[in-house]
A and B are shown apart, each in its own frame.
Chain A
Amino acid sequence: MPQTIPTDSVGLVKPQVHHFDEPLLLRSGAVLSSYDLVVETYGELNAARNNAVLICHALSGDHHAAGYHSLDDKKAGWWDSCIGPGKAIDTNLFYVVCLNNLGGCAGSTGPISINPETGKIYGPDFPIVTVRDWVNSQKRLMDRLGIEEWAAVVGGSLGGMQVLRWSISYPQCMRNAVVIAAAPKLSAQNIAFNEVARHSITRDPNFHKGHYLEHGTYPKQGLMLARMVGHITYLSDSAMSAKFGKSISDFESEGTNFGRDLRTGKLSFGFNADFEVESYLHYQGERFSENFDANTYLLMTKALDYFDPSVDYDGDLAKAFENSDCRFLIMSFSTDWRFPPERSREIVTKLLKAKRDVSYLEIAADQGHDAFLMPIPRYVNALSAYLQKVYEGLA
């Protein structure tokens, strides 16, 4: 719980639910006849209605990007380090919009919602949604909010992929695209990790072919394992070493729990968690499994696997960008091995080929893929400098 709300926080925020009755045709051919999107906004929309910034969330994110829902909240929103008054995405300047994507489990229509056609929970029958479908639904939200043009669309990881899709599907609706720690499409290795995650969930005895809620249970072990594997790919080797790799001789000098390699100071000679990294992964998996829906996890990983905006352009991403008349800022992190800098450079090369306005930064950071959520000075300052100029250009 924050003792007091920090002055650079957006403070207490309240999500809003927008209901849409116009059917949404999905890429798979399925149709969502109606749906809800849960949304948070921070800052004020200006009179010209052109200072709005859309934040697209990553795999396990949601609409709660900044601030607190109540004074009892242990943590602020997932990107509170960058969103707030005076922060890189400055809510004194911008009207910031963040939503939970379709298929999510934080309030927007998804597997845990009631299917209006059957009156039952969707569960595994919720249709596969793609990045393109999300962006189409986000465009409808944009229209609902009366925004004609985003000053910027911003996202990291899977969020960055939504930004790329925006720049291809609706370039006339945005001035800037900020794509952080993303990739033009997944590598075979990325898909392999996702398949391990899906496999562990769907093979959990409590999965019940996705109908676990009807059985009053959920695939806790599968979700835990999926998250543990995922978490390893979000961190770098060096980040893990820094967090858990201290030798026993540092024991006395380290104040923090995770600064210690061994949990108890001695080996158990059994199969208990001897090392901090083990209990850390257990903790992460446990916490995640209690707060995240397994069917949503499956959907999100599929959306990642299916992402490839070049498919409509003979596999040539540069062609896809031909009408992307916005400015691009692409950023990557040196130790990110999930979507490493080479993947971002691929995007940059295609943008150059399409003669787009693009800037690219490769931030030296130890934190791996997770770096995009961290307050790394060079990264945050660059984002701030770029968006400051975006704001000046709105006049």
Chain B
Amino acid sequence: MRPDLAIIQEWIKPGSRVLDLGCGDGRLLQYLQDNKDVRGIGLEIDPTNIESCLRNGVNVIEQNLDSGLSNFRSDSFDTVLLAQTLQALSKPDVLIDEMLRIGKNGIVTFPNFGNWKSRCYLWTKGRMPLSKFMPHQWYNTPNIHFCTVNDFDALCAARNIQILARTVVDSQHKGSWYMRAWPNFLGEIAIYHLTKNKGA
């Protein structure tokens, strides 16, 4: 399993209902179904991934996240996942609000643009950073809304979103004490566990 998914799955309660936005080939949902008795549904737009989900026995709905999630009822899931997809959305803030409307809690992972490698790339080359996770040129990238850990913290504060847990990992998806100390500088992938503040 992809290491960021290994971290995510620990936050998901056995027997819960999970909605996975951009579920890929359904591997995480399949793991959660088999090992945690989770009832899951994935959203995906890639036909090959959708067929893999069917082959893996994972419920999958062909739906573009940019078209919204109005077909999902409030509080109809325990956890809503958004793994490595936030930066490709046309309205990421709206989708996060929607996630926390539909789920009791949400899990978001994204590449941290505040990482020192990105900063060095921009500083030394004066060009938009490229990396293993961001291999596209600025003009053809599906990733249109990059943010940093600090940016995301600010969004959560502005939207009255409570951060239940936050962890950052490097490209090998390993964490360490120094990454926890300087997440925005050292973390390459940010992983957030969120919920809507009461009274929000």
Shortest C-beta distance, B190 to chain A (Å), equals: 29
Write out the residue numbers on chain B whose beta carbons fall within 8 Å of the beta carbon of A385: 51-52, 54-55
**A112 adjacent to chain B (CB < 8 Å):** no
Specify the chain A residue showing the minimal Cβ separation from B70: A349
Write out the residue numbers on chain B whose beta carbons fall within 8 Å of the beta carbon of A381: 51
CA distance A256 to B41 in the complex (A): 45
Specify the chain A residue showing the minimal Cβ separation from B50: A361
Write out the residue numbers on chain A whose beta carbons fall within 8 Å of the beta carbon of B52: 385
* Residue pair A358, B41 in contact (C-beta under 8 Å): yes
Decide yes or no: A357 and B39 within 8 Å by CB, A382-B54, A389-B56 being known contacts.
yes
Write out the residue numbers on chain A whose beta carbons fall within 8 Å of the beta carbon of B14: none
Q: Count A-B pairs with CB separation below 8 Å.
A: 52
CA distance A360 to B50 in the complex (A): 9
Contact digits for A340-364, partner B, Cβ 8 Å, 1 yes 0 no: 0000010011001101011111100
Specify the chain B residue showing the minimal Cβ separation from A378: B47
**B72 adjacent to chain A (CB < 8 Å):** yes
* Residue pair A389, B55 in contact (C-beta under 8 Å): yes
Bin the interface of chain A by size: 20 to 34
Specify the chain A residue showing the minimal Cβ separation from B19: A352
Shortest C-beta distance, B45 to chain A (Å), equals: 10
* Residue pair A360, B56 in contact (C-beta under 8 Å): no
Contact digits for B2-33, partner A, Cβ 8 Å, 1 yes 0 no: 00000000000000010000000000000000
CA distance A355 to B17 in the complex (A): 9
CA distance A16 to B62 in the complex (A): 40
**B57 adjacent to chain A (CB < 8 Å):** yes
* Residue pair A359, B61 in contact (C-beta under 8 Å): yes
Chain B CB within 10 Å, residue with most, of A329, A360, A386: A360
* Residue pair B56, A359 in contact (C-beta under 8 Å): no
* Residue pair A389, B57 in contact (C-beta under 8 Å): yes
Contact digits for B68-111, partner A, Cβ 8 Å, 1 yes 0 no: 00011100100000000000000000000000000000000000
* Residue pair A355, B76 in contact (C-beta under 8 Å): yes
Specify the chain A residue showing the minimal Cβ separation from B60: A359
**A388 adjacent to chain B (CB < 8 Å):** yes
Shortest C-beta distance, B107 to chain A (Å), equals: 20
Q: Which of A353, A388, A389 contacts B73 (CB 8 A)?
A: A353
Interface majority SS (helix, strand, loop, mixed), chain B:
mixed
Write out the residue numbers on chain B whose beta carbons fall within 8 Å of the beta carbon of A389: 54-57
Write out the residue numbers on chain B whose beta carbons fall within 8 Å of the beta carbon of A388: 55
* Residue pair A352, B60 in contact (C-beta under 8 Å): no
Shortest C-beta distance, A89 to chain B (Å), equals: 14
Q: Which of A349, A353, A357, A392 contacts B59 (CB 8 A)?
A: A357
Specify the chain B residue showing the minimal Cβ separation from A392: B57
* Residue pair B71, A345 in contact (C-beta under 8 Å): yes
Bin the interface of chain B by size: 20 to 34
Q: Which of B39, B53, B71 contacts A359 (CB 8 A)?
A: B53
**A327 adjacent to chain B (CB < 8 Å):** yes
**A393 adjacent to chain B (CB < 8 Å):** yes
CA distance A357 to B53 in the complex (A): 13
CA distance A381 to B50 in the complex (A): 11
* Residue pair B59, A358 in contact (C-beta under 8 Å): yes
* Residue pair A360, B61 in contact (C-beta under 8 Å): yes
* Residue pair A393, B57 in contact (C-beta under 8 Å): yes
* Residue pair B71, A352 in contact (C-beta under 8 Å): yes
Chain A CB within 10 Å, residue with most, of B54, B55, B56, B76: B54
Shortest C-beta distance, B62 to chain A (Å), equals: 5
* Residue pair B72, A361 in contact (C-beta under 8 Å): no
Shortest C-beta distance, A384 to chain B (Å), equals: 9
Q: Which of B39, B57, B63, B73 contacts A360 (CB 8 A)?
A: B63
Q: Which of A348, A349, A352, A359 contacts B54 (CB 8 A)?
A: A359
CA distance A227 to B198 in the complex (A): 60
* Residue pair A362, B59 in contact (C-beta under 8 Å): no
Specify the chain B residue showing the minimal Cβ separation from A386: B54
* Residue pair A327, B55 in contact (C-beta under 8 Å): no
CA distance A327 to B57 in the complex (A): 10
Specify the chain B residue showing the minimal Cβ separation from A318: B73
Specify the chain A residue showing the minimal Cβ separation from B58: A359
Write out the residue numbers on chain B whose beta carbons fall within 8 Å of the beta carbon of A378: 47, 51
Contact digits for A356-379, partner B, Cβ 8 Å, 1 yes 0 no: 011111100000000000000010
Write out the residue numbers on chain B whose beta carbons fall within 8 Å of the beta carbon of A349: 71
* Residue pair A348, B47 in contact (C-beta under 8 Å): no
Shortest C-beta distance, B19 to chain A (Å), equals: 9
Write out the residue numbers on chain B whose beta carbons fall within 8 Å of the beta carbon of A382: 50-51, 54
CA distance A393 to B73 in the complex (A): 30
Given contacts A327-B59, A348-B61, A352-B72, 5 further A-B contacts (CB under 8 A): A352-B73, A359-B60, A360-B61, A381-B51, A389-B55
Chain A to chain B contacts (Cβ below 8 Å), 6 pairs = A348-B71, A352-B76, A360-B61, A378-B47, A378-B51, A389-B57
Q: Which residues of A are at the interface with B, using a C-beta cutoff of 8 A?
A: 327, 329, 345, 348-349, 352-353, 355, 357-362, 378, 381-382, 385-386, 388-389, 392-393
- Top 5 closest pairs, chain A to chain B, by CB: A385-B55, A385-B54, A349-B71, A360-B61, A386-B54
